[in-house]
Amino acid sequence: MRKILNLFLITFSLLFFSNVSADSNTEGSKSFVEKLGKEVIETVSDEKLTDSQRRSNFRYLYLNAFDNFYISRFVLGRYWKRIDKSVKEEFIKTFNDYIVSTYAPKFKGWQGEFKAVDALIEKNFYNVKMDVINKDGPVLKLIWKIYLDKNKNFKILDVNIDGVSMLVTQRAEFMSVIKNNPDGVIGLIKAMKKKILI
């Protein structure tokens, strides 16, 4: 009887503490995206910043908060395995520059609030639901797909905006460019470079 009781207590303790940890990480994932939103407002949207400062600040946030290697690999789809290491490295660098040049200017003068409303665990990921409240516009519904890396830091894999995955959308756009360009991935890299602001 005592062995059964001890086994029950051990099992209960393991379940309890694992649930506490899960709850802590779930709340942590919400705090993570809210903090990121606050940093964007404080370091990117300020109209007093030069365009260069804005891009530099956005780059720092993007490279630290997002898993840009995974994202780069995902948006290239089946073509990732067809290119050598040097092309992969050039693509990742160019893609990161492209993301910064595309999105940093969009936040200039932006006023609003990032409010995490819920977080759900799905396998090893956290899906954080967020309302982006624009000062003079509609509320956007976001879902951030996040995981904890080996150093216990949260990393973003994808952002779903009003039901649309940004990764899936970006991959579809890139697949179209590669398919219609005789230089394939190299052609895509060249096309991105033309759109990158210095």
Pairwise CA distance, residues 111 & 44, whole Å: 11
Pairwise CA distance, residues 155 & 140, whole Å: 21
Pairwise CA distance, residues 36 & 159, whole Å: 13
Q: Give the DSSP letter of residue 161.
A: E
Pairwise CA distance, residues 69 & 85, whole Å: 13
Beta-sheet strands, E only, within 44-191 = 112-122, 125-134, 139-148, 154-161, 164-165
Read off the pLDDT of residues 156-183 as tens digits, 9 standing for 90 and up: 999 999 999 999 999 999 999 999 999 9
Residue 123 pLDDT grade (very low, low, confident, very high; cuts 50, 70, 90): confident
Contact between residue 83 and residue 133 where contact means Cβ atoms under 8 Å apart: no
- Structural domains for the chain: 2-195 (3.10.450.710)
Read off the pLDDT of residues 16-59 as tens digits, 9 standing for 90 and up: 333 434 567 899 999 999 999 999 999 999 999 999 999 999 99
* b (16+ CB within 10 A) / e for 139-151: eeebbbbbbbeee
